[in-house]
Amino acid sequence: MKKLSVWKIIIYIFLVIMAVLYLAPLLWTFNVAFKTNKEIFTAPFALPQNPTMENFTFAWTAGKLGIATLNSFIVCVVTLLFSMIIGSMAAFGIARLRWKFSHLALVYFLTGMMIPVHCVLIPLFTRFAKVGLSNSLTGLVLPYLTFSLPITIFIMVGFFEGMPNELIESACIDGASIYQIFFKVCLPLGKTGLFVTGLMTFVGNWNELLLAMVFISDDMKKTLPVSLSKFVGPYNTNYSQMFAAIIIAIIPTIIVYCAFSNQIVDGLTAGAVKG
């Protein structure tokens, strides 16, 4: 064990360097958010001379960040829940149920992952406008949900395929129905995967700009990334206010992330104990 401790120290030193590499740019953002535009350009690294909260108050009121946060939250949570349920059901269907076209179905879903959103933007918007889904949060949830499905399915298929056959067999022998096997046996075991994909979905949608920008016109329905882009003017950008707005925008993400990451840790340890 003594020998290992030297290694441990090296590992920790390495990790601390990594941590600095990760945190420094973010701390710099914090630093900038308290400055004036003039200061940003003259002394980008120095600490702010007269730290001002003005940027934050302006960003909050003018960017309507409160309502935008709420909108983003609604859209992302609804999308997350549905994509987890619908996605893992389909993944289970592909990975475990036995039918001729299961592999084809997987390929079919995967193509969705490969299409850049720009390609389908205009056809999708035209369609949605016809059925009255443009300029509504529902109209945003539907594409978000659909775009989240392929990645959820892809990762969950991996998890379900990795599960030992015996598990399902024994549940079968106990007389469980297929739904019980899915909800009571497989889904809980795939929890880790579910949280990872959930996190990815949530984060991806939380930061999505283009669809939200094109689909939503009403100021009261705009999501956070759209509100952030308000600070980019036609000829110049209000960097200090924009960074203040970015800070406001990432705080909820970090909170949600911390909540979820603990769940992931739970999942990880649970898996380890079971093994």
210 makes contact with other proteins (CB under 8 A): yes
62 makes contact with other proteins (CB under 8 A): yes
Give the 3-state secondary structure of residue 208. Answer: coil
Candidates 161, 159, 165; CA nearest to 189 is: 159
Binder among 104, 153, 185, 223 for other proteins (CB under 8 A) = 153
49 makes contact with other proteins (CB under 8 A): no
50 makes contact with other proteins (CB under 8 A): no
Number of Cβ within 10 Å of residue 48's Cβ equals: 17
Phi and psi torsions of 133, nearest 5°: -95, -5
**Of residues 166-185, those binding other proteins (CB under 8 A):** 168-169, 172, 177-179, 181-182
Number of Cβ within 10 Å of residue 1's Cβ equals: 5
Question: Rounded CA gap, 72 and 216, in Å?
Answer: 12
- Amino acid letter at 223? T
Provide the minimum distance between the beta carbon of 219 and other proteins in the complex, in angstroms, as a whole number: 8
Binder among 1, 2, 5, 218 for other proteins (CB under 8 A) = 218
Give the DSSP H or E segment for 38. Answer: helix 37-42
- The answer to whether the beta carbons of residues 79 and 145 sit under 8 Å apart is yes
* Close Cβ partners of 52 (under 8 Å, ≥ 6 residues apart): 34, 35, 36
28 makes contact with other proteins (CB under 8 A): yes
**Of residues 224-263, those binding other proteins (CB under 8 A):** 225-239, 241-242, 246, 249-250, 253-254, 257-258, 261
60 makes contact with other proteins (CB under 8 A): no
CA atoms within 13 Å, Cβ hemisphere of 163: 25
112 makes contact with other proteins (CB under 8 A): yes
Provide the minimum distance between the beta carbon of 49 and other proteins in the complex, in angstroms, as a whole number: 14
38 makes contact with other proteins (CB under 8 A): yes
Binder among 13, 158, 167, 174 for other proteins (CB under 8 A) = 158
Nearer to other proteins, 51 or 79 (CB): 79
